[in-house]
Structure 1
Amino acid sequence: MPELPEVETTCRGIEPYLLDCTIDSLELRERRMRWPVEDSVLALEGQKITAVRRRAKYVLVESERGTLILHLGMSGSLRICPKETELRKHDHFIARLSGGNGMEMRLHDPRRFGAVLWHAAEDGDIHSHPLFNRLGPEPLEGDFTPAVLIDAARGRQTSIKQVIMNNHVVVGVGNIYACEALFRSGIRPTKKAGRVSQAKLTTLVGHIRDVLAEAIQQGGTTLRDFVNEEGKPGYFKQQLNVYGREGEPCHQCQSPIKRVVISNRSTFYCPKCQS
């Protein structure tokens, strides 16, 4: 599943093509997605795009009339391509852009776990939408402070990894980046959140930010031109310390990396460097 850095890179990739552009027309080629795609999204036709941004793992395409909400699901991608480009079987949603350049934005989603939704301006601020009204702060913004994590962890018997992956605490800390941030912080992912010291939690907030920011930065450097064959940046080529490295030596102490399952997710850690 695309994680926060992949979605952020997608937003940055499509923004130059969409911002201040008018949507000439939309085509709904498949309505059977995570939620049925409704005709209400057609309200975006004829609208000028005023902003393209991300909230959690959702792409928000804003106009005066409302906001188009896109989610990439498990295997989806957004790409900008010339209208002459041959359609693929799983190109489910197409936005044709104005400006005489004949470009289109296409949502490609083989597994159909993605989403195409509409939030009308008359229904209030986008943050009032049911998908967003209970979300925690963005990890790269000022609202995500050590105090937030300390308060969320206080007295909790669940693992610290479950806490930082809880979207009500902080959004977008997916499995890969949770494992990596916990390694940098020297915290074992299975440790009960309520038993992690405030000093360690403060350190963890900083490392969550660092890991995500580095992934976004590295993704940006590999994204030469967003108009490409696949239309997605893929996972980043950063050096992973623990994720996916079961049995391999720790980069710091040479101990074999361990794997456990937490909430049905493979979790990787160094038994010596993390306690």
Structure 2
Amino acid sequence: MPELPEVETVRRGLEPTMEGAKVLKVETRRANLRFPFPERFAETLEGRTIVSLGRRAKYLLLYLDQGPPLICHLGMSGAFRVQTEDESLTPGLFHHPRSKLEAHDHVVFHLLCRDDVTRRVIFNDPRRFGFMLFATEVPAIHPMLDGLGVEPTGNALDGAMLATLFKGKQTPLKAALLDQTLIAGLGNIYVSEALWRAGLSPRRAAGTIAPAKGQSSLRADRLATAVRSVIADAIEAGGSSLRDYRQADGSEGNFQHRFSVYDREGEPCPKPTCRGVITRIVQSGRSTFYCPVCQR
């Protein structure tokens, strides 16, 4: 499933086309994706202007000049494709390219863009795990968004906050980082990478990074810095081209070429002073990659 950097890259790729555009027509080519489309889905959108595109965790938000925002989720295989008569661009980056088969084109937005050019934004989703729902009140209290934790992209996520969130928790550190009620948007890839950068074992009890009274919060500080930096680097690189993720312009992300531990089982640890070998373990049914020598 696309992680936060991939979703942010898609948002940025769609923004030049969708922001400020008038919705002329919406086609739904089936009755549902993961969930049925809301009643009067097309009618609610048609004639509206898209004021801005936002993101909360792994969700895209389309804010309109009137009516509720539209919440979009890419699911496992969803992608947006921007089309004019002369070009077709798919924002996103993936190791296994996203589908462009028209049989999987489920939603088509016909837009009059700010440059007075008519474009189509097409949502393609072979597995149909994505969805589009309206936030009938405030997005922050929609059931899909309610209870999400702090975003890992700003200075709000610091060592003190991590220490507070994880204090007393005996769950493994990796599991705590994946808990969306604590930190919103982190996924398997970037948690593995952040833990390696911070030199912390994914097996470590989460509460152990919270300092005892009178001690420094060095571990928590290192981890907060690592999380923010790995997310920022991944966004700058356009995400990771894994499985079905692709950017809004159709190009592939290249952060996968910068992986230090993820999917590198059996390779030497890339830290110059470390002689460890990257190991793969399974935690809660998911692969974890780490260096057992330098991550403690």
TM-score scaled by length of structure 2: 0.84
Whole-Å Cα distance in 1 between the matches of residues 161 and 234 of structure 2?
23
Whole-Å Cα distance in 2 between the matches of residues 41 and 236 of structure 1?
36
* CA displacement at 1:237 relative to structure 2: 4.0
* CA displacement at 1:234 relative to structure 2: 4.4
Matched, 1:101 2:117: yes
Q: Deviations over 1:203-259 (max 9, x none)?
A: 101110000000101118x9xxx775xx36446344111000111111122421111
Q: What pairs up with 1:204-223 in 2 under 5 angstroms?
A: 204-219=223-238
Q: How many residues align?
A: 266
Match of 1:60 in 2: 61
Contact 1:25 1:97 (8 Å CA) reproduced? yes
Q: What pairs up with 1:1-275 in 2 under 5 angstroms?
A: 1-42=1-42, 43-63=44-64, 64-82=66-84, 88-99=102-113, 100-120=116-136, 123=137, 125-197=138-210, 198-219=217-238, 228=249, 231=250, 233-234=252-253, 236-252=255-271, 253-275=274-296
Whole-Å Cα distance in 2 between the matches of residues 215 and 268 of structure 1?
17
> 1:209 is aligned with what amino acid?
R
What secondary structure sits across from 1:89 in the alignment?
helix
What secondary structure sits across from 1:241 in the alignment?
coil
What secondary structure sits across from 2:238 in the alignment?
helix
Q: Deviations over 1:56-78 (max 9, x none)?
A: 10111110212111100011111
* CA displacement at 1:87 relative to structure 2: 6.6
Q: Which runs of 5+ in 2 are unaligned?
A: 89-99, 211-216, 242-246
Whole-Å Cα distance in 1 between the matches of residues 252 and 83 of structure 2?
15
Whole-Å Cα distance in 2 between the matches of residues 90 and 109 of structure 1?
6
* CA displacement at 1:179 relative to structure 2: 0.3
Contact 1:10 1:233 (8 Å CA) reproduced? no
Q: Which runs of 5+ in 1 are unaligned?
A: none
Match of 2:244 in 1: none
TM-score scaled by length of structure 1: 0.90
